[in-house]
């Protein structure tokens, strides 16, 4: 890794920056001895010890069994303790609220989903706050805070949904409502930023510095990280690619992806072709043998490949993660890879963060912020 020692204008800032670097290194590389950490981050052994000791005292990291090589002092590896802290994740979808709990490495400990009426935003927020409080209350250890993932335009600083056309929300102060009910720190961000953040923290993008996340579902959104991970969550830029022209699903020309390539358009095309489907899962299942379903998913793969080529030409990311229904299985990922022309096929991958994707992405907002600030004072 060979990162230069991180520093700030004040000793406290420098210590937190170096602590963040140590935490991220342990997440990426696993158990490491102090000497190895010092070498990787270009820090002296004393500095590393001053970083590790507070983390040990609050249980965020733990020492493993000594390992002797027969030369010099025994090697004592230090590892992150995943069960030392937890985070609550809340996701607001069109029809459902999903609330859950993860540990420090993104493993979903528990999750709960229930229907809601987006038109009743007061009732929805009240119920989400109740569920978040229940999740925090049953956590096996201290809870860092609550992460909230929601579509549309989000103001992360104030924790509010500026505008979400799907839910019909305008200027909804989500963070305030959850904070009032739970007393916990709340981080609110857009869906694709949360999904990409989870991949950078727990999944396919771990340790990567140039990653593009393409989400194709009921909406077409993307998130891009083109700066070193140490810049933190705000290094992710979110945008839309729904205006990109792609082949129509029926082969009748070209149209905007946001009009002809969403899940809604795909399922409508399937039903028009006589298929009895109510979800993408139904269509993927039928595509094991049904030629119409196969043709439609191949047409969707051609759309996704066209988008991947376009954004690759513009941004040259080292990795493109296809989320949502863009590549619903390894089989269909290979079909997309076969159809790209300029994007390197090996650069296209599926999400790898484990467990409940929605919970992991939302809770990951808090865990990622914790790792990148390097503060041991989060609700401890």
pLDDT tens per residue across span 60-102: 999 987 655 555 566 789 999 999 999 999 999 988 999 999 9
Cα–Cα distances (Å) from 70 to 66, 239, 301, in that order, read 12, 54, 55
Sheet containing 211-216: give its strands across: 236-240, 220-225, 211-216, 319-324, 348-349
Which pLDDT does position 225 carry in this prediction?
A: 84
Residue 357 pLDDT more than 80? yes
Q: What pLDDT score was predicted for residue 239?
A: 86
**Quick count: other Cβ atoms within 10 Å of Cβ 303?**
27
Q: Which residues contact 101 (CB under 8 A, 6 or more apart)?
A: 86, 87, 88, 89, 108, 109, 110, 111, 135, 136, 138, 139, 143, 359, 363
pLDDT band with cut points at 50, 70 and 90 for residue 154: very high
Predicted pLDDT at 73:
60
Provide Rg for the chain, Cα atoms.
22
Please tell me the predicted confidence (pLDDT) of residue 240. 87
**Torsion, CA 302, CA 303, CA 308, CA 311, rounded to 10:** 140
269-to-117, 207, 246, 264, 332 alpha-carbon distances in Å: 27, 39, 15, 9, 18
Segment 342-371 mean pLDDT: 91
- Calculate mean pLDDT across residues 194-214: 89
Q: What does the pLDDT average to over 263-274?
A: 95
Question: Whole-model pTM?
Answer: 0.86
């Amino acid at each position: 890794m060979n990162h230069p020692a991180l520093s700030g204008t004040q000793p406290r800032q420098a210590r937190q920056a170096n602590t963040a670097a140590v935490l991220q290194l342990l997440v990426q590389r696993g158990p490491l001895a102090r000497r190895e950490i010092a070498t990787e981050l270009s820090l002296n052994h004393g500095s590393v010890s001053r970083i590790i000791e507070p983390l040990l005292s609050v249980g965020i990291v733990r020492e493993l069994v000594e390992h002797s090589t027969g030369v010099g002092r025994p090697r004592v590896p230090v590892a992150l303790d995943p069960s030392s802290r937890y985070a609550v994740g809340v996701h607001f979808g069109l029809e459902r609220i999903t609330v859950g709990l993860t540990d420090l490495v993104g493993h979903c400990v528990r999750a709960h989903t229930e229907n809601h009426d987006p038109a009743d935003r007061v009732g929805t927020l009240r119920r989400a706050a109740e569920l978040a409080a229940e999740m925090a209350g049953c956590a096996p250890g201290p809870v860092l805070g609550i992460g909230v993932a929601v579509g549309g335009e989000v103001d992360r600083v104030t924790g509010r949904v500026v505008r979400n056309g799907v839910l019909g929300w305008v200027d909804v102060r989500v963070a305030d409502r959850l904070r009032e009910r739970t007393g916990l720190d709340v981080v609110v961000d857009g869906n694709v930023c949360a999904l990409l953040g989870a991949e950078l923290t727990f999944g396919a993008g771990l340790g990567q510095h140039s990653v593009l996340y393409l989400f194709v579902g009921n909406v077409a959104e993307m998130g891009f990280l083109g700066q070193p991970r140490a810049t933190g969550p705000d290094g992710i830029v979110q945008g839309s690619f729904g205006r990109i022209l792609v082949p129509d699903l029926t082969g009748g020309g070209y149209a905007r992806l946001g009009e002809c390539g969403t899940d809604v358009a795909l399922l409508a095309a399937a039903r028009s072709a006589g298929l009895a489907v109510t979800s993408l899962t139904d269509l993927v299942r039928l595509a094991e043998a049904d030629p119409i379903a196969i043709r439609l998913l191949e047409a969707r793969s051609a759309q996704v490949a066209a988008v991947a080529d376009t954004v690759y030409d513009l941004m040259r990311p080292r990795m493109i993660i296809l989320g949502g229904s863009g590549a619903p299985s390894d089989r269909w990922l290979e079909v997309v890879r076969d159809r790209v022309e300029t994007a390197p096929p090996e650069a296209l991958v599926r999400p790898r963060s484990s467990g409940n994707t929605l919970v992991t992405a939302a809770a990951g907002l808090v865990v990622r912020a914790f790792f990148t600030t390097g503060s041991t004072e989060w609700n401890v």
